[in-house]
Amino acid sequence: MKTILAFVLFATSLFSDSSSLYQREEIKAPKPCNYCGASSLKNGFVTVAKFAKPAVVFLRVKGQSVDQHAGQNPYDFFQDDFFNRFFGAQPQQQRPKPQPQMSQGSGFFVSTDGYIMTNAHVVRDAVEITAVLEDGSELPAKLVGNDTHTDLAVVKVEGTNFPALKFCDSEDIDVGEWAIAIGSPFQLEATVTVGVVSAKGRNNLRINDLEDFIQTDAAINPGNSGGPLLNTHGEVMGVNAAIVSKSGGYMGIGFAIPANMAKHVMQQIIENGVVDRGFMGVSLQPLDKDLAEAFGLDQTQGAVIAQVVPDSPAAKAGLQAGDIITAYNGKQVQSASSIRNEISMMNPGTTVDLTINRNGRIMQLPVTLGSRTEIAGDTSETAHKIGIEVENLTPEMRRKLNLANDAEGVVITKVKQGSVAAQAGMRPGFLIIAINHKKVESTKDFNQILAESQNKSRVLILIRQGQMTRFYSLKVD
């Protein structure tokens, strides 16, 4: 009886102060029940569901048409008459018509004027997005921008007075508190599941480039991606992103991108269309027990600098390989991933005061962050449409591709199967040296020129592959 009474009192206290937190006048928070904690718990979940469900949308996405046979003809490497003249024309087999890829996911309104947050993988390759609201109405949506490093995206529908959700401060989330997930698993719209926050700060899962996941046991299944993970006040704790499963379905472990990270990405996408991150220019590794012993340290809190990028902000500030970052801006470094995430949330131009342990000597070094976009480059919307990803040309890439030291351009690192670039015969390893007759020397040039070309129906790309140079005309839409 004592255990039951304790749970009743605990459940009653959860919702006793929630009446001021629901701001929609048509939905009122439940009144606490002095005699039945279980009833209060039930009413609390019901109220969160009623409050949040109108703001959650089902996203139906039509992707690029995929031709599984595109680019597979070995006589069609550069798509000209050379091989036909010497080897004879090859018989053309009739192929099935390419079919558009269809996918679906969830999202939720973050503003009353139609901005919707979701996962980047839900909408990244979309050519047509439809948002299905709770009342069944369907609205065409436009991709505003996406961030593949965190797997977050923003789309927009036209209209006003949409029911929007607010983010909480994810730093205040406690392990063990209630978590409520809403989404459209298996196309079952507005599905509500309940669990708890199982853990915080999950990283090194190799799901995203930047990871700081909230782990929950609230049931998350395929289709929940992009939906909100809510607290008992109806605030967004995180954006549902992934599950751990051997079967493809729910197994008790789901992950959500924390609210603070999601809010930062959302604001940059809405304001600028892309996310520009602070860049320090170091490769970090965790300070484990063995490394700590080798460095003569008695604790493992901190991050070891394994490499410093030449001419980077870190190099200019005097950081060296072997330095151990123990604190930044007076805050102790808990792990390599934690400081990596914190730096990525800062704007270029921000000065970070680092506390460094260099061979037992404690030093203070200020580092003014550069722009990650200038180094790695967030792929532009036009690049997504044509289906390519690029990186800056490094000395290692020059050696691998057998290029001269003075070679300039950006290297194609990924070509999406079935994309217009793939159908044209473009491949990873090709060097882009010009777009629309404008010279390309960096990913910044690449994105800027493509952004200027976003209203054009075709993009003219000059490619170098080995000793051969060739123009490609790619249809954008």
Q: What local confidence, expressed as pLDDT, does residue 25 receive?
A: 47
pTM, rounded to two decimals: 0.66
Instruction: Give residue-wise pLDDT tens across range 307-361.
Output: 887 788 999 999 999 999 999 998 998 888 888 888 888 888 999 999 999 988 9
On whether the CB atoms of residues 49 and 22 are closer than 8 A, the answer is no
Q: What are phi and psi of 373, to 5 degrees?
A: -60, -35
29 has pLDDT over 50? no
> Does 2 score more than 50 pLDDT?
no
* pLDDT tens, residue by residue, 105-146: 999 999 999 999 999 988 877 889 999 998 889 999 999 988
Q: What is the pLDDT of residue 206?
A: 67
Catalytic residue among 40, 67, 103, 121: 121
* Per-residue pLDDT, 220: 83
In this prediction, residues 175-201 reach a mean pLDDT of: 87
Residue type present at position 393: L
Question: Which of the four pLDDT bands, split at 50, 70 and 90, describes residue 94?
Answer: low
What distance in Å separates the CA atoms of residue 47 and residue 320, rounded to the nearest whole number? 54
Q: What is the structure's pLDDT at 37?
A: 45
C-alpha 426: how far from chain center: 26
Q: How confident is the model at residue 18 (pLDDT cuts 50, 70, 90)?
A: very low
Average pLDDT over residues 417-425: 84
SS3 85: helix
pLDDT attached to residue 258: 94
Burial degree of 455 (CB within 10 A; 0-12, 13-18, 19+): exposed
Q: Residue 189 pLDDT > 70, yes or no? A: yes
Mean pLDDT in residue range 230-259: 81
Query: What pLDDT does 73 receive?
Result: 43
pLDDT number for residue 129: 94
Q: Which of 167, 145, 340 is nearest to 238 (CA)?
A: 167
pLDDT of amino acid 58: 93
Whether 200 has a pLDDT exceeding 80, the answer reads yes
Among 354, 444, 353, 346, residue whose Cα is nearest residue 393? 444
Catalytic residue among 18, 106, 184, 225: 225
Give the mean model confidence (pLDDT) for residues 382-388. Answer: 78
- Residue 248: per-residue pLDDT: 57
pLDDT of the residue at 130: 94
pLDDT-derived band at 65 (thresholds 50, 70, 90) equals low
Who has greater pLDDT, 316 or 92?
A: 316
Per-residue model confidence (pLDDT) at position 5: 43
In this predicted structure, what is the pLDDT of residue 119? Answer: 93
Residue with the larger pLDDT of the pair 87 and 238 = 238
pLDDT at 396: 67
Q: Is 371 helix (H, G, I), strand (E, B) or coil?
A: strand
Q: For residue 420, what pLDDT is reported?
A: 86
The pLDDT of residue 320 is 92
Average pLDDT of the residues in 75-101: 48
How high is the pLDDT of residue 249? Answer: 58
- Catalytic annotation present for 121: yes
Contact 122, 61 (CB under 8 A): yes
Confidence of residue 180 (pLDDT cuts 50, 70, 90): very high
- Which is more confidently placed, 208 or 341? 341
Between 454 and 316, the higher pLDDT residue: 316
Query: Within 137-258, where are the H helices?
Result: none
- pLDDT value, residue 56: 95
The question of whether 174 is a catalytic residue gets the answer: no
* Domain annotation for the chain: domains and CATH numbers: 2-54 (no CATH), 55-90+97-275 (2.40.10.120), 278-373 (2.30.42.10), 379-475 (2.30.42.10)
Mean pLDDT score, 189-214: 82
125 is catalytic: no
DSSP bridge pairs for 191: 183
Across the strands, what pairs with 448? none
Mean pLDDT of the chain: 79
From CA 331, how far away is CA 342, in angstroms rounded?
A: 11
Task: Select which of 151, 212, 323, 378 is catalytic.
Answer: 151
**pLDDT exceeding 90 applies to what percent of the chain?**
34
